[in-house]
Amino acid sequence: MKIVYHKNAITAKMVKKKRCVVIGKNDAIDMPKQLGFLIDLNKCIGCHSCEFACKNENRLEEISFRRVLDLKQRGNVFAYLSLACNHCANPQCIRVCPEKCFRKLRNGIVLYDYVRCDGCQRCIGACPFKVPKYDPFTKKVNKCNLCYKRIRQGLKPACVSACIPEALQIINFNEPLPANCKKTIPSFAFIPLTNPSVRFLLPKETICFWLEDKEE
């Protein structure tokens, strides 16, 4: 990915068939990164704390940016999956939006400008993960911005802070990743075109201990 800096840039553009991220001067955060989520399915207990924290942080009523899925039991394995925007390395929402509502920051966050949206919903059709959500109350689309304002203040995103078992983490994909993390699981298809910034730690098989009945 080629990064082009421009003082008054407000969007991302395609230049000579290469993805060029055009960054405004106020968007620079240290050096280029690619932030994303590491989800530990072995720790997630399906409490929905991340989902509620996200709704409170973003003052959402009709829609939710994050959702917690109850995965089907496989053998002795129980698992839950918490998903939101994947902040893809090559986001298709940027490509199709006629109002240029989306832009990619130097830290990899796909930022969405709610004010510019006209509600055309092209981004919903282009996103293979159906992340952007149409709000029938505002008649506009909205999505997770990875709590970029909190990150600028040195805080964790609301969903990560609210996760009691620490199943959600923010990682930099430009640094070495955990050796045992996976790109895909049965409930999440990895799309090479968009290259989603999310990795998974798979759940371990539950070990059951039974007490033996003693003969009297």
Rounded to whole angstroms, the Cα distance separating 37 from 44 reads: 14
Would residue 44 count as lying in a domain? Answer: yes
Residue 206 belongs to a domain: no
153 phi-psi bin (left φ>0, alpha ψ -120 to 50, beta other): alpha
Element (H, E) at 163: none
Q: Answer yes or no: are the C-beta atoms of 132 and 111 closer than 8 Å.
A: no
Half-sphere exposure (CA, 13 Å, Cβ side) for 58?
25
| pLDDT above 90 as % of the chain | 65
> Over the stretch 66-116, which tens digit does the pLDDT of each residue have?
999 888 655 555 688 999 999 999 999 999 999 999 999 999 999 999 899
Radius of gyration from C-alpha coordinates of the chain: 19
Encoded tokens for 153: 């203040």
Asked, for residue 27, whether it belongs to a domain, the answer is: no
Q: pLDDT exceeding 70 applies to what percent of the chain?
A: 77
pLDDT band at 21 (very low <50, low <70, confident <90, very high): very low
Q: What is the pLDDT of residue 208?
A: 57
The model's pLDDT over 42-56, given as tens digits with 9 standing for 90+, comes to 999 999 999 999 999
The answer to whether residue 107 is domain-embedded is no
pLDDT one-digit tens code per residue, 146-156: 999 999 999 99
Instruction: Identify the pLDDT of residue 3.
Output: 38
Cβ neighbors of 7 (< 8 A, separation 6 or more) are 24, 25
Query: How high does pLDDT run on average in the chain?
Result: 82
Q: What is the pLDDT of residue 212?
A: 66
Q: Residue 167: name the closest of 67, 109, 81, 85 by CA.
A: 81
Whether the pLDDT of residue 22 is over 90: the answer is no
Q: Which residue has the higher pLDDT, 157 or 186?
A: 157
CATH of residue 47's domain is 3.30.70.20
What confidence score (pLDDT) does residue 13 get?
38
**Is residue 89, in this structure, part of any structural domain at all?**
yes
Give how many domains the chain has, as a whole number: 1
**pLDDT by residue (tens digit) across 121-147?**
999 999 999 999 999 999 999 999 999
What pLDDT, on the 0 to 100 scale, is given for residue 187?
Answer: 80
pLDDT at 189: 84
Q: What tokens appear for 67 in the block?
A: 């959702």
The residue range of the domain holding 72 is 37-102+113-201
Q: Does 126 reside within a domain?
A: yes
Model confidence, pTM: 0.77
pLDDT reported for residue 216? 55
Residue 180 belongs to some domain of the structure = yes
Residue 18 resides in a domain: no
